[in-house]
Amino acid sequence: MRSDAANPDVQVAIASSDDVVVARQKGRALALEIGFTASEATLIAAAISELARNIVRYAGAGEMLLRDDGNGMLLMVARDRGPGIPDVKAALRVGFSTSGGLGMGLPGVRRIADVFEIVSNGAGTTVTVGKYKR
């Protein structure tokens, strides 16, 4: 059964670059706890770092929810009530950025994800990323 963000194992409020580090460290710990390898846990921590940074950069504040779905998948949900992503397709293109970045963050996360979904509108953005254990 696919779980959602309703009952997360870890929930981190994101409003600063310190929170980004807290979120990725908690994500790494959860990944190791549920049996991901150290390499995979580092990859998951990097993905969380990208998602959480985007919250700070584009929405100012939001939250990261992390959950073990019980079937070998770690779900990472980044949720904010920011202005939304004007062009989701463009945001997933390598090299595209509206903030002066290199446009490597979100495309990289999508590349490593087994589940990847973005819901974005004027009421906010929710990015859901799932990663299976190998």
**Residues of the shown chain interacting with another protein in the complex, contacts defined by CB under 8 A:** 16-18, 20-21, 24-25, 28, 38-39, 41-43, 45-47, 49-50, 53, 94, 101-102, 104-105, 107-109, 111-112
How many C-beta atoms lie closer than 10 Å to residue 15's C-beta? 14
Smallest separation (angstroms) from another protein to the CB of 57: 9
Smallest separation (angstroms) from another protein to the CB of 102: 5
Smallest separation (angstroms) from another protein to the CB of 108: 4
Dihedral of the alpha carbons of 106, 108, 14, 61, in degrees to the nearest 10: -10
- The smaller minimum CB distance to another protein, of residues 13 and 104, is found at 104
Task: Report the chain's C-alpha Rg in angstroms.
Answer: 14
- The smaller minimum CB distance to another protein, of residues 11 and 25, is found at 25
Instruction: Copy the structure tokens of residue 61.
Output: 């504040």
3-class state of residue 126 by DSSP:
strand
